Amino acid sequence: MKASQFFISTLKEAPAEAALASHKLMIRAGLIKANASGLYTWMPMGLRVLRKVENIVREEMNRAGSVELLMPVVQPAELWQESGRWEFYGKELLRLKDRHERDFCMGPTCEEVITDIVRKEITSYKQLPKNFYHIQTKFRDEVRPRFGVMRAREFVMKDAYSFHADYESLVRDGYQPMYDAYCRIFDRLGLNYRPVAADTGSIGGTGSHEFQVLADSGEDVIAYSDTSDYAANVELAATLPLSGSRAPAAESLAKVHTPDVKTIAALVEFLNIPIEKTLKSIVVEGENAGEIVLLLLRGDHEFNDIKAEKLAGVKTPLTMAAPELIRAQFGADGGSLGPVGFKGRVYADFAVEKGADWVIGANENGWHYTGFNFGRDAAEPGFADIRNVVEGDESPDGQGRLKLARGIEVGHVFQLRDKYSAAMNAAFLDNNGKAQIMEMGCYGIGITRIVAAAIEQNNDERGIIWTDAMAPFQAVIVPMNYKKSDTVREAADRLYAQLQAAGVDVLLDDRDERAGVLLNDSELLGIPHRIVIGDRGLKEGQVEYARRTDSEAQSIALDEVAAKVL
């Protein structure tokens, strides 16, 4: 590709509202353009990256025996009513009416549509198991779209659905192969990730793993052991630890853990919740706290209405001490915080209603915590029971210390069991001619989010650092004076043709711009290999070669370039 034919639109500055490195860089590199809150255009440069991700996902899905189809984005309400999700899903589901006043929604996932197809197409055990996938645009009317394509409203997902005659087949032929395919996909993409045991959220069913890309800016918190395979998201770690991150099914319920003061202090520090002073007092007095929950509210949510009455019934030194401390700490930034006498689910629901970002709680068993982002999950009913806790000094499998890290959820595998197949009567005849409900699994990957997550993990002050697998171009040729110097132009054109013939995805930056602009752009765009061609070097038959990760370029012979790049 020649840059003069292509479209490159880089920016020196990122817009003020972009908080994350990946968001800033995606805008500055011209990968995406915002159209409205949570709605983006993938510009030509960004689309090349997106397609590379898609292709890797497609290859591995095909290899794992999943079959590609393409379902509609707009879905009829009837199917959603049948599954029960029309009532259940809340405001994240964008609902619309057609000209005949019939109800539809923009699909946030496709369980209903695929189950409807399968119940009509598959009637016998002989046709099972089957696994279908597509790579398709989804819409979720997120409460807080943010961080660019990381949490958009319209985004691209790979979603797959598998159907089985029995549970053994779901695990053996569906869940496990998908889990393995996900590991291959994220390995090939060069991401530093961890599969973690997860709660099944609004989708229901049992058995689930999230694939979390490790990044300090991640919205999720994962808990893992530093010496064993244990890894779970923090919601699940508080309730139902699995026996290992590579074990797809829950083996047993682990014992409930009571955290110590240190753990809470560490968590608060980790989450960077600015209540250091408050915490000290609370934790010290709170060790024997009674039934009390501390709600942390941030942003513009008001909390005043609840304080007095709810506190009245709570008799611990902690509750007496807390309100003053808290108000002193938080009054200034517009947020507010207060303790309430709710427990378990009740306070979780309350927190949702109030738009809390984080919740830390205690009950008569001691302190416990959770890292829910309620604003985000407000549409999802059924929070994990956050009364149970993760300990600091023993991970739940008894091996090693439990550590916390932040993550970005890029993939999710679920054993849905019969949640949809029973509600929608997806049945088949077994080998005795008896009608049975199918077992079902579903498997999502956030294609667009992966692009942001990869940048979040790999960038420096100069820009994006792509792996070869995801880069929009593998190599860029930067000629000095392409327009004016015949020698440079001829050498650059020749090298360009040579690399193209060798199958390298190469960009020839023939734009009529200052050298500094071209060099800066090549770094901002994160292209893995760069070859700078100038008159001076060419006299000795040399060019300047650098990998994006190198701190300095090296002189190499023109005819050595292909070997370096390939």
Q: Per CB under 6 A, does 144 bind ligand ATP?
A: no
The region of 144-152, 405-413, 470-478, 504-512 touching Mg ion under the rule CB under 5 A is: 405-413
Strand 506-508 and strand 475-479: pairing? Answer: parallel
Q: Per CB under 6 A, does 410 bind ligand ATP?
A: yes
Q: Per CB under 6 A, does 85 bind ligand ATP?
A: no
User: Which contiguous run of DSSP H or E holds residue 52?
Assistant: helix 44-63
Q: Per CB under 5 A, does 257 bind Mg ion?
A: no
Q: List the one residue from 245, 278, 388, 448 that touches ligand ATP (CB under 6 A).
A: 448
Nearer to ligand ATP among residue 148 and residue 286 (C-beta): 148
The region of 43-51, 149-157, 237-245, 455-463 touching ligand ATP under the rule CB under 6 A is: 149-157
Nearer to ligand ATP among residue 152 and residue 471 (C-beta): 152
Q: Per CB under 6 A, does 441 bind ligand ATP?
A: no
The region of 151-159, 234-242, 429-437, 462-470 touching ligand ATP under the rule CB under 6 A is: 151-159
Q: How far apart are CA 88 and CA 80, in angstroms?
A: 9
Q: Per CB under 6 A, does 152 bind ligand ATP?
A: yes
Structural Rg of the chain based on CA atoms: 27
| Structure tokens, 137 | 């645009």
Nearest Cα to Cα of residue 371 among 229, 235, 178, 199: 235
From the number of C-beta atoms within 10 Å of its C-beta (0-12, 13-18, 19+), residue 383 rates as buried
Q: Per CB under 5 A, does 417 bind Mg ion?
A: no
**Alpha helices per DSSP H over 106-189:** 111-121, 167-169, 176-188
Shortest Cβ 409–Mg ion spacing (Å): 5
Q: List the one residue from 54, 60, 112, 142 that touches ligand ATP (CB under 6 A).
A: 142
CB atoms near residue 460 (< 10 Å): 12
Q: How far apart are CA 439 and CA 174, in angstroms?
A: 10
**Alpha helices per DSSP H over 157-216:** 167-169, 176-188
Nearest Cα to Cα of residue 335 among 295, 299, 373: 299
CB atoms near residue 73 (< 10 Å): 15
Q: List the one residue from 116, 173, 409, 509 that touches ligand ATP (CB under 6 A).
A: 409
Nearer to Mg ion among residue 409 and residue 510 (C-beta): 409
Q: Per CB under 6 A, does 140 bind ligand ATP?
A: yes
Q: What DSSP state is assigned to residue 438?
A: P
Q: Per CB under 6 A, does 449 bind ligand ATP?
A: yes
**Residues within window 517-546 making contact with Mg ion, judged by CB under 5 A:** none
The region of 119-127, 180-188, 349-357, 444-452 touching ligand ATP under the rule CB under 6 A is: 444-452
| Structure tokens, 404 | 């916390």
Which listed option, Mg ion, ligand ATP, none, makes contact with residue 459 (CB within 5 to 8 Å by class)?
Answer: none
Q: Per CB under 5 A, does 412 bind Mg ion?
A: yes
Q: List the one residue from 376, 403, 547, 564 that touches ligand ATP (CB under 6 A).
A: 376
**Residues within window 157-176 making contact with ligand ATP, judged by CB under 6 A:** 157
Residue pair 368/324 in contact by the 8 Å Cβ criterion: no
Residue 370 makes CB contacts below 8 A (sequence gap 6+) with 234, 235, 238, 358, 359, 360, 361, 384, 386
Shortest Cβ 37–ligand ATP spacing (Å): 12
Nearer to ligand ATP among residue 129 and residue 444 (C-beta): 444
Shortest Cβ 219–Mg ion spacing (Å): 9
By beta carbon distance, the residue nearest ligand ATP is 446
Phi, psi of 178, deg, nearest 5: -70, -45
- Contact residues for ligand ATP (CB under 6 A)? 109, 140, 142, 151-152, 155, 157, 376, 409-412, 444, 446, 448-449
